[in-house]
Amino acid sequence: MTENSKLSYIDYGKGNKTLLFIHGFCGSHEYWSDIIAKVKDEYRVVAVDLRGHGASEALGASFSIEDMAADIASFLEDREIDQVYMFGHSLGGYITLAFAERFPGKLSGFSLVHSTALPDDEAGKEGRLKSVEKIKNDGIPAFIDGLVPKLFADSDDPHIEHTKDIGYKTSESGAIGSLNAMRNRTDRNHVLRDTKLPVLLVAGEQDKVIPAEKTFSVKGSHIKEVILEGSGHMGMMEAPGRLAEEIIRFVK
């Protein structure tokens, strides 16, 4: 186990319920800006930068999804936040599942947004290694320039340039460590199946990274499924109004 990272974060609003937002790979808390603007008047809203992302320090390039979940647990403990509704986008969803497995008592409910409980298949693992090599050979900016347009349903989406700017802030060790952590993550369908907590699963109709069938891998009376029509992998930017409505409905 590595030493827990000190995470940069934002903390808005009051409310008697706390919503914690965790961004995806090569993102930051800024991924959630449109959603936060829509929910902060009703709830306390916290959003972190994962280790090696945004303004958070990197602790070397060798860590696991479980280490990243432990970062979140330490963060909540340091701020004396007892319980949250946790919303994890993509990589953030993998961390949310690991957190729900180990620290279920700290959650009121949780959500995977454009994420999956399935592990990488062999092609996915090979893709992670190619991404590591791309970063080592060409650097973060070139990698981000290739990655970000694939995240959106519309290749002319106005959010693409800002999303690239967010990605450029990712440290090389943070990106490589996250790629290896994602490559090595385990199947966590049992967490979705066995949890006693309410679960919200959100998929993009046109997501080219994680298709809906991979998000909706488990059915249950405790699980709500939502498809964001016309959205790719970035529903918090592509369909913020609809996603915010679903988040508020879920928390209520």
pLDDT tens across 51-99, in order?
999 999 987 779 999 999 999 999 999 999 999 999 999 999 999 999 9
Q: Give CA–CA dist 8/174, Å, rounded.
A: 14
Residue 210 phi/psi, 5-degree rounding, is -130, 100
Q: Which domain holds residue 73?
A: 9-251
Q: What is the pLDDT of residues 107-164, one digit of tens each?
A: 999 999 999 999 999 999 999 999 999 999 999 999 999 999 999 999 999 999 999 9
pLDDT band, very low/low/confident/very high, at 2 (cuts 50, 70, 90): very low
In a domain, 143, yes or no: yes
Average pLDDT over residues 203-215: 98
In a domain, 232, yes or no: yes
In a domain, 199, yes or no: yes
Answer for the pair 128, 120: CB distance below 8 angstroms, yes or no.
yes
Domain count, the chain: 1
In a domain, 96, yes or no: yes
Q: Give CA–CA dist 53/101, Å, rounded.
A: 24
Query: ∠ CA 57-114-7 to the nearest 5 degrees?
Result: 15
What is the secondary structure of 8-73 as a DSSP string? Answer: -EEEE---SSEEEEE--TT--GGGGHHHHHHHTTTSEEEEEPPTTSTTS----S---HHHHHHHHH
Average pLDDT over residues 160-189: 98
Q: What is the pLDDT of residues 29-40, one digit of tens each?
A: 999 999 999 999
CATH number at residue 107: 3.40.50.1820
Who's near 136: CB < 8 A, 6+ residues apart?
A: 172, 176
In a domain, 171, yes or no: yes
In a domain, 87, yes or no: yes
Looking at this protein, which amino acid is placed at residue 190? H
Per-residue pLDDT at 5 exceeds 80: no
pLDDT over 70, % of the chain: 98
Tokens at residue 159, please?
């959010």
In a domain, 163, yes or no: yes
In a domain, 85, yes or no: yes
Average pLDDT over residues 163-181: 97
